[in-house]
Structure 1
Amino acid sequence: MPLHESGYDRRRLRQWLAGDARADGVARRDMLRLLAAAGLTAAVPTALAAPAAAATTAAAGIVKPVPEDWFTIRGTNAETKFPSLAGTGYHTPIDHFFVRNHTSTPVLDAETWKLTVWGDGLAREEPVEFTLDDLKRFPATTRSAFVECAGNGRSFFTTQQGQPVTGTAWTLGAIGTARWKGVRLAEVLRRAGLTRHAVDVLPRGLDAEYVTADGTNLGHVRRPLPLAKALDDVLLAYEMNGEPLPPDHGHPVRVLVPSWVGIASIKWVGDIEVAAQPLYSPWNTDFYRLFGDAYPEGGSAPLTHQTLKSAFELDWNASLPAGAEHRLTGRSWSGAGGVVRVDVSTDGGTTWRRARLHDAPCRAGWVRWSTDWRPATAGTYTLLARATDTTGRTQPEATVPNTQGYLFDAVVRHPVQVG
C-alpha cells in the first residue's frame, strides 16, 4: 500500500474511532483493511459498532467527513455550500469538493489496480493492461478544470420556475474546480494500439453496479465519448490539487473530461472499451439527454458541454446590517467559453452594475468576482448575478424546462434580509 494511502487510512480510522466519522457504506473488509493498515485491529470491537455519539460529519457511502457547515447531504451525495468557498482561492480544497455518487465510494488499492483497454477499435485482439506506475511513466499533463453535475441547479426549475422535475435537488454547489494531474487519454489509447476504425471510447467505473428504484440493474456506471473528444483534452487523472486522488474523487484514477457534464468524468475507472461502432449506455440514452415538450420524442442528443451559471458566496436569506458596506463575492463559469463579464443586481433586476473579475477567462474553469453594496434601508432584497462568456452568451431569465432537470442556466434569485 503506498504511503499516501496508508496515511489517509490512518487519518480516517482516527476520525472513526473518535466519533467524527462512521462506517456506513464501507464494507467490513475495507474497514478491516483500514484497521490493519494502522495496526489497530485488536483495538476495535469485532462487530464494528458505530460510536455512541451521533456522527455529524459523515454520510452513508461517502468516505471523507462532510461537515454541515460545508455540505448539504443529498442521499449518497454531498453538495458544497457556496458560502464555504469564500476566501478559499481559485481551486476548490479537496475537503470542500462536492461528492456525486451513484452508489457509494469504493476503497480501492492502488497497488493492485489495473486499467484494461480493449475493443475492436484496437489493432490487437487481446486486452491491454496498465498499472498506476505504467500511467505515471507517460508524460504528465496538469490541467485546471471544473467538474459539475449536469443536474446542478435542478431545484430552481421548481422553486423559481414552478416546474416539477426528477432527480437530486441540487442548488448550485454540485461543482468544484481543481488542478488535475495525469496522462492524456490519447497517449494511452495510442499505446494500446488505436486504429483508424475507432469511433467511440467507453470508460467504465469500479463502483458498485447501479440498481434503479424499480430493481433494474444497469451495471457499472459508464458513458461513451466520441473519439475526437477522447483524443483532445481528456485526462486519466491520478492527482488532485497536488495530492493523490482521494477515494471519493476517484482513487486511484479517474477520467477528466474538461467542460463537459460531470457524468463523462467517470471515477474509479477500471476499463475502457474502444469500439469501431457507436456505443450506448443508460447514461447517454435514458439519462443525460433532454426530454420534455420542447424536445424531440426520443430526447435531445446526449449532453456534452456544461452550461453557464453564477453563484454568490453568501448564505441563502443571509442577514446583513443596513447602512454598512458589504463586499458581495461569487463565481461564474461556462462549459462553452470563458466568462468575460458578470453583472450584479441588488434590486431584483431593476438595475445592474458590472462586477470586478479576479481571474482570466478560461473555458473549463470559473472566474471569481466581487462588487460592493451598501443597502440604505432594512427589508428583503433579491440579489442576482448574470454572466456572459466568450461565445457572447448571457444567462437568461428562465431555462427551458426538461423532465430530468438538467442544465439549469437561468439567473438565480438570491434573497437576503437587511435589518
Structure 2
Amino acid sequence: MNELTYDRLRRRQWLAGEARADGVDRRTLLRMLAAAGVVAAPALLPPARAVAATAAAAGGTAAAAAGPVPGIVKPLPAEWFVPRGTNAEMRWDAVPGTGLHTPNERFFVRNHTATPLIDQASWRLRVHGAGLRGDGAEFSLADLHRLPSHRLSALVECAGNGRSFYASQQGQTVPGTPWTLGGIGSAEWRGVRLGDLLRRAGLTHGAVDVMPSGLDAEYRGADGVSLGRVRRPLPIGKAVDDVLVAYAMNGAPLPADHGAPARLVVPGWVGIASIKWLGEIEVSDQPLYSPWNTDYYRLFGPDHPEGGSAPLITQVVKSAFELGRGAVLAPDRVHRLEGRSWSGTAPVREVEVSTDGGQVWRRARLHDVPRRHGWTRWSLDWRPAAPGPYELLARATDRAGHRQPDTAVFNREGYLFGAVVRHPVTVG
C-alpha cells in the first residue's frame, strides 16, 4: 500500500473513531479530510473518540548544552559549518577527501530545540502500546548491545535541504532554515533492527502504526503553543522492514548532537522520520497522527491539495559540487570538477554536468557503484575557454527514471527542493 492510500485510510479511520490525533487539533484534520475527498460536509462527521495524552518519555536526565551555536554541543569550525539558527549546515567545500561517510565531527546538525545531555547508564527505551501483547518492554543501552547488531550505510537529509534556492533561483519566499545543500550527511550506523525490538516487546498482528518520540525539550510552534516532544508515526510495514535503532555512528558511540544514547535511522525517508534521542516507542492498533505529519512535513501550496499532500516520505534527486559557491579558479589549466548525487527513491543512474549555464551537458564519470540510501561521487574534467564568470550545473537521474528538473514545484514550507542548482564560479 503506498503512502497516499495509507494516509486516506488513516483519515477514514479517524472519522470512525478508530484513530488517534495526538496533539493535532480537529480543524487541521477536517481540512485534510476535505482536501482528500473523504468527507462530503462537516455536518456528517461523527464525533472523534476522546483519548488520553501520550505517556511521558522514559528515563534519563536531560539538560540543554551551550555551544558556539545555541543548543549544539560539538565544536563548529567555520571551515566546516555554516550556522543556521539552532542548526549547523555542512560546507560542501570541506567535503573533498572525506570519503563516502561523513566524519562524525563534520556531520550536519538539525535540532528542533537543543541537544539534550542524557545519562546513558539510567537511560531506558520504553516500548509500549495496544499493538503489543502485555505491557511491552523496556531496554537499557546494555540490553541493546546484547541483541544481534546490524550495520546500515545510509544518508540522513533534512526535508528542507536546498530550501534557500526557492528564493534565490525561483523568487519564491519560504520560511524555515535557509539550507543550501548542506543539510545532509552519510554514515555507517550500527544498532538493532526496529522490527527485532518490536517482536521482543510482543508485537501483534493488530499493530498499525509505530510512534517514536525523542527526549529533547518540547517544541513550540510559531504561536508559542507547545506541541510536545518531536514524534512522527511510521506505518508498521516500514517499521519492521529496514529501520534501525542505532547506538553507533561510523564505528563510534553516537555523539550527543546525533542522538545519543540511541536514535532511529529510517533509510530513504526525510530526516524528520529518523527521531533522535529515543525515549519511547508506542506501537498502536489505531492509526496515529502528530503535528509532524499534519501541519508539518506535508506539501501545501497552489499546486497541492488544499489540505496538503500525503505526509512526506522519500527525498528527491539532488546533486552538489564539492566546491564553494563563488569559488575562484585559476585560468589556463584543467580543473577536475567533483561532486555527489543522491536520491531517496533509487540508486543514481547517471550524472550530467554543464559548465555554460545549461546549454551543453556532458556525462560525468561515476566513482562509486550506485546504491540505495547513499550518494554517488562523480567527476568531470573542464578547461575553461577564457577568464570570467561561469555557471556550473549538475543534474542526476536515478534508476527509477527521476531526473532533476530545471525548476522545483513550489510548496509553502520549502521542502524537497530538487531542481538543478546553479553554482557560480569565477575563472581568473
Find 1:78's aligned residue among 70, 88, 97.
88
1:159-204 superposed Cα distances (whole Å, 9 cap, x missing partner): 0011111111000000000000000000000000011110100000
Per-residue CA distance 1:121-173 (angstroms, 9 max, x = gap): 1111x241011111112111001000000000000011001111111100000
Encode CA deviations 1:4-34: one digit per residue, 9 max, x unaligned.
xxxxxxxxxxxxxxxxxxxxxxx99777xxx
Q: Secondary structure at the match of 1:135?
A: helix
TM-score, length of structure 1 as denominator length: 0.86
1:320 paired residue number: 329
2:74 aligned to which of 55, 61, 64 = 64
Equivalent residues of 2:348, 2:399 under 8 A apart? yes
Task: Report deviation, 1:59.
Answer: 1.4
Task: Report how many residues are paired.
Answer: 368
Residues 1:307 and 2:302 are matched in the alignment: no
Q: Which amino acid aligns with 1:80?
A: M
The equivalent residue for 2:340 is 331
Closer, same or farther in 2 for the Cα pair 1:404/1:28, shift >3 Å?
Answer: closer
Distance in 1 between residues matched to 2:138 and 2:62, nearest whole Å: 29
Amino acid across the alignment from 2:316: T
**Alpha-carbon separation, structure 1, partners of 2:206 and 2:226:** 31
1:80-159 aligned within 5 A:
80-124=90-134, 126-159=135-168
Contact 2:62 2:216 in 1 (8 A): no
Gaps of 5+ in 2: 1-60
Alignment deviations for residues 369-402 of structure 1 (CA, whole Å, 9 cap, x no partner): 1111111201110000000111011111111000
- What is the letter of the counterpart of residue 92 of structure 1? T
Deviation at 1:406, TM superposition (A): 0.4
- Cα RMSD of the aligned pairs, angstroms, is 1.4
User: Is 1:256 aligned with 2:265?
Assistant: yes
What amino acid is the match of 2:205? R
Give the TM-score normalised by the residue count of structure 2. 0.84
Decide whether the 8 Å contact of 1:143 with 1:179 is kept in 2: yes
CA, structure 1 residues 232+417, in 2 after alignment: closer, same or farther (shift >3 Å)?
same
Q: Is 1:58–1:67's contact at 8 Å kept on the other side of the alignment?
A: no
For the residue of structure 1 that corresponds to 2:99, the secondary structure is: coil
SS of residue paired to 2:199 = helix
Higher relative contact order (CA 8 A, sep 6+): 2
Shift of 1:229: 0.3
Quick one: distance in 1 between partners of 2:238 and 2:146?
23
CA distance in 2, matches of 1:360, 1:192: 38
SS in 1 for 2:312: coil
Q: Assess if the C-alpha contact under 8 Å between 1:345 and 1:352 holds in 2.
A: yes
Aligned residue for 2:380? 371
- Please report how far the alpha carbon of residue 58 of structure 1 lies from its aligned counterpart in structure 2 after TM superposition: 2.2
Instruction: Say whether the 8 Å CA contact 2:62–2:215 is kept in structure 1.
Output: no
The residue identity in structure 1 corresponding to 2:144 is: L
Tell me how far apart the structure 2 counterparts of residues 283 and 200 of structure 1 sit (CA, whole Å).
14
Distance (Å, rounded) in 2 between the aligned partners of 1:215 and 1:397:
38
User: Aligned pair 1:247/2:247, yes or no?
Assistant: no
2:63–2:116 contact (8 Å) kept in structure 1? no
**Distance in 2 between residues matched to 1:133 and 1:181, nearest whole Å:** 14
